[in-house]
Structure 1
Amino acid sequence: MAGTFVVLEGGAGTGKSALLDALSGEFTRRGISIETVPEFAEASVGEFVADELDRGDGQQFQERACSLSAGMLANCCYQAETVINDALETNEIVLTERYLDSVAVYNLPLVEQRSGSTFPPIIDATDRALPVSPDLTVLLTMNDQTRRERFRNDRPELLEQGSVPDRFSQRQARFRERLAGRDDVLIFENDDSLETAAATLAEEINRER
């Protein structure tokens, strides 16, 4: 069996983790075999990245831009080579959140700001070197009203405060720019209830398989 590899992308607060779990249940109810792969590898490389993100702050992320970017890339490579590749042999769908496009959107800009160097080719080179590539990348978006309501309830730290730049909009714009023109991309507005969104997106994914 050669399954379909699907990645959920989008800025913080777009509902990737919740939708990942809901899609797993939705596809299972439909009799479609699915495996969800966590963002961080259950190995030392995943633990390093998760710990850096959990304990760090903006200044630390800037100071460790190269090591964090390399760690994120290594995490994606580990998942692809040791988990995703095998899962695609035994499941119709393999689903994860945040993959190489997230490294390009979140991490490489920090390297560029600090050093003045640009590194986009490293993402595409890594993708070509791996044994698997996403068959479908789903960029989650939501309208401004939904975003503010969800952030207020679930992620208040992500709301703009005073002159702090709207990093959410900036990152969503980077995602759109990076994904523009690709035929393996689906833009999905995640504004409905979780149950409705999962059912709708499951239909969209089935059509793209």
Structure 2
Amino acid sequence: MTSPGRFTDTGLFVCFEGGEGGGKSTQSRLLKDWLESEGHRVLLTFEPGDTAVGKEVRRIVLSPQTGELSNRTEVLLYAADKAEHVDTVVLPALERGEVVITDRYVDSALAYQGAGRVEDLSGVEAVQRWATRDLRPHLTVLLDVEPAAGLGRFEERDRIEGESLEFHQRVRQGFLDLAGRDPGHYLVIDARLPIDEIHELIRARVVGLLGQVTS
């Protein structure tokens, strides 16, 4: 595996991860609203797709019309999205001393393109870490959901959501393995809990990190 990575001295970087249908977008917005009510400057972002380059990547990797891609091609496309995202969105906001909340980051590539596709995890990680300048979140919130339950929330599925249940089970285990490797930087929550209860657990953890926010 690669180095332990680096954490910025300015701003606070929080990432939401997990399988499909776990409530990442909902909890990201709730955290943003609460932080802003407390007077913090917050940037809410997501991967893939929150840059002009990323929108093109998102169209390719998620459209069912794309069909089959080489696993390595998929890894590199996601890495390109992350490189542009970090350089033009995430790092500038952190340097301004803001709280950056992202819906998906490097762990999604490791879980989906590594564990899900059964690719060499060390190779996938090396590419993603290089693309993101080895920038790590101060906290990753993993909303853990059993794949059959999470996927059941979608009437229509994109190219990744439409993969087999076995694929998504490998993805889930990939996320859990990542959290197990570095428990100090993760908060693992059962996504079946009530929305308000999940939010309270996240708030309690983030409160302890807010002292790191400097400009």
Establish whether TM, by shorter chain, passes 0.5.
yes
| 1:65 maps to amino acid | N
TM-score, with length taken from structure 2: 0.75
Query: Quick one: distance in 2 between partners of 1:9 and 1:88?
Result: 19
**Partner residue, 1:171:** 171
Please say if residues 35 and 42 of structure 2, whose CA atoms lie closer than 8 Å, have aligned partners that are also in contact: yes
State the 1:42 CA deviation: 4.0
Deviations 1:36-68 (A, max 9, x none): 1122344443122211233237x934x332222
TM-score, with length taken from structure 1: 0.77
Q: 1:90-169, aligned counterparts within 5 Å?
A: 90-109=96-115, 112=118, 118-124=120-126, 126-127=128-129, 130=133, 132-142=135-145, 148=149, 151-152=151-152, 154-156=153-155, 165-169=165-169
| 1:134 maps to amino acid | P
Which of 17, 23, 28 lines up with 2:25 in the alignment?
17
Which of 67, 87, 99 lines up with 1:60 in the alignment?
67
Pair 1:29 & 2:37 matched: yes
State the 1:111 CA deviation: 5.8
Deviations 1:164-187 (A, max 9, x none): 534443311111113323131221
Long gaps (5+) in structure 1? 159-163
- Secondary structure (helix, strand or coil) at the match of 2:40 reads coil
State the 1:193 CA deviation: 3.4
Query: Quick one: distance in 2 between partners of 1:104 and 1:135?
Result: 18
Query: Quick one: distance in 2 between partners of 1:111 and 1:194?
Result: 31
- Secondary structure (helix, strand or coil) at the match of 2:142 reads strand
Count of aligned residue pairs for this structure pair: 194
Pair 1:200 & 2:208 matched: no
Please say if residues 47 and 102 of structure 2, whose CA atoms lie closer than 8 Å, have aligned partners that are also in contact: yes
* 1:43–1:36 Cα change, 3 Å: closer
Query: Quick one: distance in 2 between partners of 1:206 and 1:124?
Result: 32
State the 1:101 CA deviation: 1.3
| 1:133 maps to amino acid | R
**Partner residue, 1:191:** 192
- Secondary structure (helix, strand or coil) at the match of 1:180 reads helix
Which of 77, 80, 84 lines up with 1:78 in the alignment?
84
Query: Quick one: distance in 2 between partners of 1:22 and 1:169?
Result: 27
Long gaps (5+) in structure 2? 1-8, 158-163, 211-215
State the 1:137 CA deviation: 1.4
Identity %: 20
**Partner residue, 2:14:** 6
Query: What's the Cα RMSD here?
Result: 3.0
